[in-house]
Amino acid sequence: MPELPEVEVTRRSFADRIAGAHIVSASLGKPLRWPLGIDCAALAGRQVLGVRRRGKYLLLDLSEGLLLLHLGMSGSLRFAGPGEAPLGAAGAHDHFDLQTTQGLLRLHDPRRFGAVVYVPGEDDALARKLLDHLGMEPLEDSFSLEAFRRGLAASRSPIKQLLLSGSVVVGVGNIYASEVLFLSRIHPARPARDIGPRKVRALHEAIRAVLALAVEQGGTTLRDFSAANGMEGHFQLQARVYGRDGQPCTHCSRPIRLMRQGQRSTYYCVHCQAA
DNA sequence: CATGTTACCTGGTCGC
DNA sequence: TGCGACCAGGTAACAT
Instruction: Name which of A33-37, A96-100, A157-161, A235-239 the model is least confident about.
Output: A235-239
Query: Is A22 annotated among the ligand-binding residues?
Result: no
Is residue A162 within 8 Å of A180, Cβ to Cβ? no
pLDDT of A48-92, one tens digit each?
999 999 999 999 999 999 999 999 999 999 999 999 999 999 999
Give catalytic residues of A, as residue numbers: 2-3, 56, 264
Nearest residue to C12 via alpha carbon and C1': A130
pLDDT of A188-203, one tens digit each?
999 999 999 999 999 9
Which nucleotide is nearest to A261 if distance is taken from CA to C1'?
B4
pLDDT of A210: 98
Helical residues (DSSP H) of A132-172, grouped into ranges: 145-153, 159-165
Residue A125 has pLDDT above 90, yes or no: no
pLDDT of A222: 87
pLDDT of A33-51, one tens digit each?
999 999 999 999 999 999 9
Is residue A190 within 8 Å of A158, Cβ to Cβ? yes
Q: Under CATH, to which class is A145-268 assigned?
A: mainly alpha
CA A39/CA A168 separation, integer angstroms: 35
Nearest 5 degrees, angle CA A16-CA A140-CA A229? 30
Q: What is the mean pLDDT of residues A151-159?
A: 97
Q: What are the start and end residues of each CATH 3.20.190.10 domain in chain A?
A: 4-131
CA A99/CA A95 separation, integer angstroms: 13
pLDDT of A1: 61
Residue A121: pLDDT band with limits 50, 70, 90 = confident
- Strand C positions with any atom < 7 Å from protein CB? 7-13
pLDDT of A227-236, one tens digit each?
999 999 999 9
CA of residue A163 relative to chain centroid, distance: 13
Q: Is the CB of A5 under 7 A from strand C?
A: no
Query: Is A149 annotated among the ligand-binding residues?
Result: no
Q: Is the CB of A173 under 7 A from strand C?
A: yes
Q: What is the mean pLDDT of residues A99-119?
A: 97
Closest by CA to A108, choosing from A119, A97, A124, is A97
Say which amino acid occupies A178.
S
Which H helix or E strand runs over A4? helix A4-18
Q: List CB-based contacts (under 7 A) with strand B.
A: A 30, 74, 92-93, 110-113, 154-158, 161, 262-263
What is the residue-averaged pLDDT of chain A?
96
Instruction: Name which of A41-45, A219-223, A248-252 the model is least confident about.
Output: A219-223
Residue A238 has pLDDT above 80, yes or no: yes
Query: How many angstroms is C1' of C16 away from CA of A262?
Result: 15
Q: What are the start and end residues of each CATH 1.10.8.50 domain in chain A?
A: 145-268
Q: Under CATH, to which class is A4-131 assigned?
A: alpha beta
